[in-house]
A and B are shown apart, each in its own frame.
Chain A
Amino acid sequence: MTRFYRALLRLYPGSFRREYEGELSAAFVQRVHGRSAAYTFLAALGDVVPNAVAMHVEILGRDLRFAARAVMRAPGFAITTILVVALGVGANTAAFSLADFVFLRPLPFHEPDRLVKLWQRTPDYGQMELSPGNYRDWKAASRSFSGFAVYSFQAANLVGGSEPRRLDVVKATPDLHQVLGVPALIGRPLAPADSEGVPVVVLSYALWQTQFGGDPGVIGRAVRLDGTPHTIVGVMPATFNFPQSGTDAWTPLVFREENYEDRTDTYITGIARLRDGVSTVQARNEMIGIAAQLAKAYPAELEDVSAWVLGLRDEVSSSARMLVLALCGAALCILLLACANLASLFLVRATSRVRELAVRTALGAGREQIIRQLVTESVTLSVFGGVVGIAVAWATVPLLARLVPQSLPLAASPTIDARVLAFAFALMIVTGLVFGVGPAIGAGKSNGLELLRAGTRTTGGRTRRVRAALVVIEISASVVLLILSGLLIRSVWNIQARDPGFHTQHLLTLRTALPPAKYDSVARREQYYERVLARVRALPGVERAAFITGLPMVMRGGIWGAGLNGVEPPRTGSHSVSLRFVTTGYFSAMDIPLRRGRDVENSDTQKSLFIAVVSESFAKRHWPDEDPIGKRFSVAFSERTVAGVVADVRVRGLEQESEPQVYIPYRQVEDGSLVGYLPKDLVVRSELPASALLPSLRAIVKEADPEQPVSHVRTIAQILEGETASRLTQLRLLMTLAIVGLLIAGVGIHGLLSFTVSRRIPELGVRRALGAQVGGIVRHVLGEGLRLAVAGVVVGVGLAYVAARGMGALLSEVKPEDPATIGVSAALCFATAILGCVRPAIRAARVDPIQALRSD
């Protein structure tokens, strides 16, 4: 039992235990003499535990008061430390919260790891939508899945609820929610029975809140989607964002027999749940096999069409992935910098306190007490810094929303994760401990008196080498950051310099997507378009206006095959074109130059010759050496004659190659055919600001059709900005990190050289006394700083080259070894290094020989 008591004594602070161990045991033994074992056991606990806790609290309080006093004496040190910790914790928490959100956190579905997406794959397109025919056959033949649903996107006008609104609807086979395994918040999700009877609709949480005021009685209510009555059967929870954030509602997708016929009509995406024990690769192999059999059965349509199966989480484009990874890399660089700087700060502080510690040791303070004191100090500072860092992360994380890939079924804004926070915090405390206490332990080991006698000089040599190494690390980390942000800046410049193919200023656009059921004939649509266009064009200040199926960079798909001699080839490879229906005046409104022939005209009707206006690249592809005007080709179920040639535009955005473009007069289509291509985006060229123009535009639409919602109001310039928005966000972050890194490195160099100079004041004094010139001494100090800078830059450039090659996908028309970027970054580092040298050099130059020799 005494042994138990002695073991418990370890709870006391060591110095107390060592001092009173024997006395405590003796007194305890006498006190419990003759008592039962249980009593002794409880008495031991009741004796030691509360007293030990009380003692620790007492000592902590004393240490904290002492730490506060020490910090007050050196506020510069405290503020620098807190800022450095805040930076490290803040940057890393923000970056890793984003990475965790994008890559790691489980998606909000039942067993999300077993969900996969299914795509068709051709030599040209790694991931392409499926045709209903292929879906039916794939589903019937596959054994890998316990459920297999498909969906497609459709925008629809909602009438019912507060006011007409444009919705992003997902039409899905009714087993979708079953495959995902997510129950409805209220009511029920889609169910297999929904493929028959009155159409139903399931609302997203956001739509339920905004359009129906969160009314639970909404279940069973009738609304109209594009004119068709639907019954609301359920509301999904706020976390459900499938297939992507911003989806407003889900309706059943039902195939009729004729939908299965055209195997090149690919517009649905597959989502399936793997059966127990089946891996993604196994499923992929099975599907590739099935696709190969289908290709044999339908050689004309499915030649080269294979299958691809991909985990739901892997649905992130390589550049989106790279954006996040690059940010994490940068944050790690900052962490490295922060740690190196902390180490440097604590090292120099410990060195400058050797004398103080030696005095305290001489006055009887135990080694344990001194270490305890230092731990309290560095942890206190780290905690303060950590708290500021969390505030920094809190403010930054919402700004990172633009970096969340849109292809993921996630809500758009990442949140700070407690695990990441704890990790960053722990890291900082560990750094503070290792570098704040390590030197003290070293100091504590040596004989106190010896240290007292030696002053600050003895520990200088090793500390200085460690600090020099830390400065080199700091410089190389900031070189890496500078070079990477430099390369990304040049990439953005290159992308922004690309000509989109149209004029971007003074163009306002909005969307009025006509419900195909209501506007089921060209004649009805003509009424709407001509009425709206005539009134818009008559507005004062409006120069030109037109409608198109979808704006470049907004609608990137709409790809068809176009061929000569009456053959309509598959929509792949060298046959593909992007198809748009336009009203008159589209090219002049967008300032797309007309190269040959004529624009679409009002006389191009269902009864006249079917014509098309094509882009230069299309003309060049099919008739390289001939005049394309009057030539004939087949596209989208009809034969067309080329009436005009216009310049190319970047339909797929600034970063991707685009297919040649084919524009068709909106009147030249069979009623009921190609309803997905009805012109919906209105472009208006006007020098008036959007705010002045918009009320009149809304009034014109309302007058033409009161049930028609207006959506997607923005300027073309905004669309273009959106092209580089995620890059710019990332760039700003990287630049901020790079500048901060450079500052830290500068402070590091300054600190090191100040330390060196102060340590060498006697030596410099001797030199001066022996006749050394001031210039020589200044050169000496500067030389030391520059040597460190050179070492750091060399290491940094090497590392940056490796990193830049890793993120090649993000670099646009700029090579990882870009000399200008490397040159500027290195120059910035040298400049910082020299700035860091200035004060120490001046101090060295001002050393008074007499005083220096006397002082020590």
Chain B
Amino acid sequence: MTANRDDVDDFLPLPPATFHILLALVEGERHGYAIIQDVEARTDGELRLSAGTLYRSVARMVEQGLIAEVVKRATRQDDERRRYYRITPLGTSVARAEMRRLTQLVRLARASGLSPETT
């Protein structure tokens, strides 16, 4: 399933939470709380998703086809109840597109002589 460029662009710009969730799932399948932890670690504690925000995003992303629930459940006892999610090809395309968009943006900012450090 290869995503059409136009379909992908319809998702941009991505809400930050969505982008972070996609990034968390690029490395592999994860359950909900693992996503929260991953995002928190990746952002040095700056972005702490609440359970509600996470699952609201998850529900929408499943509907949009960016991620999918993994039917196979984890084998460990305490994870029995948990649902795992994986990124879909569309999700990957969208994450890439967002990345391109952001890179482009940063490049434009640099070209205008702006630097991230305050002097």
Contact = CB atoms under 8 A, between A and B. Distances in A.
A24 B49 CA distance: 12
Interface in A1-50: 12, 16, 19-20, 22-28, 30-31, 43, 46-48, 50
A55 interface: yes
Given A26-B81, A54-B56, A47 B50 contact: yes
A23 B50 contact: no
Interface string B31-60: 111001000000000001011111110110
Interface residues of A, number: 22
B59 A27 contact: no
A48 B82 CA distance: 20
A773 interface: no
Nearest to A28: B51
Residue among B54, B55, B82 facing the most chain A CB atoms (10 A cut-off): B55
B83 interface: yes
Residue among B31, B52, B55, B58 facing the most chain A CB atoms (10 A cut-off): B52
B51 A31 contact: yes
Contacts of B59: 16, 19-20
A30 B50 contact: no
Contact of A51 (B32, B36, B50, B83): B50
A182 to B, nearest CB: 57
Interface in A45-87: 46-48, 50-52, 54-55
B56 A46 contact: no
Contact of B51 (A16, A19, A47): A47
A24 to B, nearest CB: 5
A25 B58 CA distance: 15
Majority secondary structure, B binding face: helix
A50 B52 CA distance: 9
A46 B81 contact: no
Contacts of B31: 23
Nearest to B59: A16
A654 B59 CA distance: 77
Nearest to A13: B59
B108 to A, nearest CB: 31
A26 B33 contact: yes
Contacts of B54: 27
B36 A23 contact: no
Majority secondary structure, A binding face: helix
Contacts of B55: 16, 20, 23-24, 27
A699 B37 CA distance: 98
A11 to B, nearest CB: 10
Interface string B66-96: 0000000000000001110000000000000
Given A51-B50, A51-B53, A52-B52, A27 B81 contact: no
Given A19-B59, A31-B36, A47 B82 contact: no
A51 B81 contact: no
B56 A23 contact: no
Interface in B94-113: none
B33 A47 contact: no
A27 B56 contact: no
Contacts of A23: 31-32, 51, 55, 81-83
Contacts of A22: 81
Nearest to B35: A27
A352 to B, nearest CB: 29
B52 A48 contact: yes
Interface in A135-159: none
A67 to B, nearest CB: 20
Contacts of B52: 12, 24, 47-48, 50-52
A47 B59 CA distance: 16
Interface in B17-34: 31-33
B65 to A, nearest CB: 14
A22 B56 CA distance: 14
A756 B100 CA distance: 61
Contacts of B48: 31
Interface in A718-741: none
A61 to B, nearest CB: 13
A54 B50 CA distance: 14
A47 B50 CA distance: 6
Contacts of B83: 23
A26 B83 CA distance: 11
B111 to A, nearest CB: 37
A31 B33 CA distance: 8
A3 to B, nearest CB: 16
A19 B58 CA distance: 11
Nearest to B83: A23
A125 to B, nearest CB: 77
10 contacts: A12-B52, A16-B59, A20-B59, A23-B83, A24-B55, A27-B51, A30-B33, A47-B51, A51-B53, A54-B56
Interface of B: 31-33, 36, 48, 50-56, 58-59, 81-83
Given A12-B52, A31-B51, A47-B50, 10 more contacts: A20-B59, A23-B32, A24-B51, A26-B33, A26-B82, A27-B32, A27-B51, A30-B33, A47-B53, A50-B52
Q: Top 8 closest A-B pairs, CB basis?
A: A51-B52, A47-B50, A27-B51, A28-B51, A47-B52, A20-B55, A27-B33, A27-B32
